[in-house]
Amino acid sequence: EICACLVGSEMCIRDRVRKNREHVSRFLHKCVQKFQPPGGTFGSLGHIRTLFGMSPRLKACFQSKSRFKLTLLIQMEELDMEKKEQLYEGKAKKVFATDDANLVIVDYKDDATAFNGEKKGTITGKGVINNVMSNHMFQLLEQQGVPTHFVEQLSERETLVKKVSIVPLEVIIRNISAGSFAKRFGVEEGIVFDEPTIEFSYKNDELGDPLMNAYHAIALKAATREEIETIKAMAFKVNEVMKQYFDTLNVILVDFKLEFGKTADGKIVLADEISPDTCRLWDKTTKEKLDKDRFRRDMGGVEEAYQEIMKRVMGK
Ligand code: ADP
Ligand code: UDP
């Protein structure tokens, strides 16, 4: 019924629907599921009103008692998931509010920083790669039973995600010695561990993200004991899924950083990003670095490394 309406509608709507085919079909599916109408057609206008509330535009349409117009309007409002005020600008991403208090849009930048913001630069095309790759990883992890903040990619650099309150811990998993681990313990990079390690640092730029253990996190009320247990189990599961996945791309997952958040209903989900900014990725054959270390260590070939990972992950 609704498809027929859309086909018979104005040119501009047809164009928008064509450009947003995936979004529209998901929306239709959601409507049909929520209304549960027999035979997959729409329920009453009353149902629609209960579901979507009464914005002034919807109210006008509702009063005109035209289900046809009302459905189109709902479609248009859904397609226009509006980017509202900027809530935050970080070192690599901006976060924007939307019409929905439980959803935000993240917008990935090409800005790169290292050493707690002391080194600054730009990696051309990084925002697009990190956005697309993160979304790919989040979808893979969801399929494997790890809940994430991912909702839908909106454009090359923008993604709609569940708004979470970030647990102020950077969760780092390591399979092989590198970076601060090698430095702290005075060992070379490249030692393969028998078991992965986990560590937390307190997410606080002013303090330089100091290392902390679970007791410190509980003392500072950064997380509860139960939340830490959940986060640990999820982080190790993410490691298993990602290690296997990168292996199929001839890439070694050396280490990575995760962030978790709490949704409005108190559920812990994986948030932030998974990209060459937040993972150490080495080519399995040559051991070449395909991640942000090329930027941190002025090794050159930074953009090429990000593109190479993108090519292996996305096949392009
Ligand atoms: P930073 O804050 O370290 O400079 P970014 O530039 O990546 O980092 O900014 C993105 C910010 O958004 C981070 O602080 C991150 O914790 C936060 N964030 C990530 N995912 C979500 C989410 N789903 N909801 C709310 N905030 C998020
Ligand atoms: N990492 C990150 N953000 C940070 C710190 C670390 O994404 O603020 C990632 C980093 O890319 C690496 C892993 O976490 O994959 C471990 O980093 P490490 O502790 O070795 O620190 P670094 O060498 O980056 O200072």
Query: Would you give per-residue pLDDT tens digits along the chain (316 residues)?
Result: 333 233 333 334 444 555 555 555 565 555 545 544 433 334 344 444 444 444 444 444 444 444 444 454 454 445 456 789 999 999 999 999 988 889 999 999 999 999 989 999 999 999 999 999 999 999 999 999 999 999 888 889 999 999 999 999 999 999 999 999 999 999 999 999 999 999 999 999 999 999 999 999 999 999 999 999 999 999 999 999 999 999 999 999 999 999 999 999 999 999 999 999 999 999 999 999 999 999 999 999 999 999 999 999 998 6
The answer to whether the CB of 170 is under 6 A from ligand 1 is no
Q: Strand 119-122 relative to strand 111-114: parallel, antiparallel, unpaired? A: antiparallel
pLDDT of residue 38: 39
Q: Is the CB of 164 within 6 Å of ligand 1?
A: yes
How many whole angstroms separate alpha carbon 126 and alpha carbon 112? 9
- The answer to whether the CB of 180 is under 6 A from ligand 2 is yes
Residue 220 C-alpha to ligand 1 middle, in angstroms? 20
Ligand 1 pocket check for 261: Cβ under 6 Å: yes
Q: 186 — alpha (psi -120 to 50), left (phi > 0) or beta? A: left
- 3-state SS, residue 267: coil
**Nearest-atom index, ligand 2, CA of 172:** 14
Q: What distance in angstroms lies between residue 92's CA and the mean position of ligand 1's atoms?
A: 9
**224 with 260: CB under 8 angstroms?**
no
Cα(314) to centroid(ligand 1), Å:
24
**Per-residue pLDDT at 33:** 52
Pocket perturbation via mutation, ligand 2, pick of 238, 278, 306 by most ligand atoms within 8 A of CB: 278
CA–centroid distance, 109 to ligand 1, in Å, is: 12
User: Is residue 280 lining ligand 2, measured as CB closer than 6 Å?
Assistant: yes
Tell whether ligand 1 has an atom less than 6 A from the beta carbon of residue 91: yes
Residue type, 304: E
Give yes or no for residue 95 CB within 6 A of ligand 1: yes
pLDDT value at residue 19: 57
Q: In this structure, which ligand is nearest to the CA of 162?
A: 1
> How are the residues of the chain apportioned to helix, strand and coil, as percentages rounded to the nearest 5?
45, 25, 30
Instruction: Tell me if 197 CB under 6 Å of ligand 2.
Output: no
What local confidence, expressed as pLDDT, does residue 201 receive? 98
Q: Give yes or no for residue 289 CB within 6 A of ligand 2.
A: no
Ligand 1 atom 14: the closest Cα is on which residue?
90
